[in-house]
Amino acid sequence: MENIQKIRNVPLLGDKFSDLDVQPTHGMMKLSDDFKDKWFILFNHPSDFTPVCTTEFVSFQKNYEKFRELNCELIGLSVDQIFSHIKWIEWIKENLDVEIEFPVIADTGAVANTLGIIHPGKGTTTLGLFLLVDNNGKIRTIVYYPQELGRIWLKF
């Protein structure tokens, strides 16, 4: 029963997504307002400038228009600082000729804690997360995975 109590603050399918104020690369956002009446995918990556995270971001960007046609926005997240995100996005543009258009949240841990992605056995390292929220703000899909796995299961 103790383990169940530990994970209860993790959001569940059908829960209303937490009303979060966040600082992404595109300026301050309130997710419930900025994505009102839209679906959105929030995906966490453990660290900027890593090969797997970079290919994931490039893949999401290459399919961004397809998501938008479905009234679905994308938003990245990591516990890296905003300046790291900006530099990484610049690096992707300069080296891979792909411009990341979706926002990337710089998290101090508040969002990660709310979503339950800081693993208690791994210090401040976050789990991977793919979260789909519908146009009414309800969580419809949650996929958690260890950072060592990457998002290899996600194929567009």
Alpha carbon distance 109, 116 (integer Å): 10
Marked catalytic residue, from 22, 31, 42, 53: 53
Assign domain 38-145 to its CATH architecture: 3-Layer(aba) Sandwich (3.40)
pLDDT at 154: 52
Q: What is the mean pLDDT of residues 144-154?
A: 62
Q: For residue range 22-74, what is the model confidence (pLDDT) as tens digits?
A: 888 888 888 888 888 999 999 887 777 776 778 888 989 999 999 999 999 99
Joined together, the tokens standing for residue 85 give 């995100």
Mean pLDDT rounded to a whole number for the chain: 82
| CA 118 to each of CA 1, 77, 113, 124, 129: distance values in angstroms, whole numbers, following the listed order | 20, 13, 6, 6, 11
User: Is 72 an active-site residue?
Assistant: no
| CA 131 to each of CA 53, 109, 141: distance values in angstroms, whole numbers, following the listed order | 16, 17, 6
Q: Is residue 151 over pLDDT 60?
A: no
Confidence of residue 124 (pLDDT cuts 50, 70, 90): low
Joined together, the tokens standing for residue 76 give 């990245």
pLDDT at 43: 87
What is the reported pTM? 0.82
Joined together, the tokens standing for residue 64 give 């961004």
Q: For residue range 69-118, what is the model confidence (pLDDT) as tens digits?
A: 999 999 988 888 889 889 999 999 999 999 999 999 888 778 888 887 77
Q: Which of 150, 132, 128 is nearest to 142 (CA)?
A: 132
Give me the residue spans of the domains in the chain. Answer: 38-145
Maximum alpha-carbon separation in the chain: 51
For residue 16, what are the contacts with CB-CB under 8 A and spacing of at least 6? Answer: 137, 138, 139
pLDDT at 9: 66
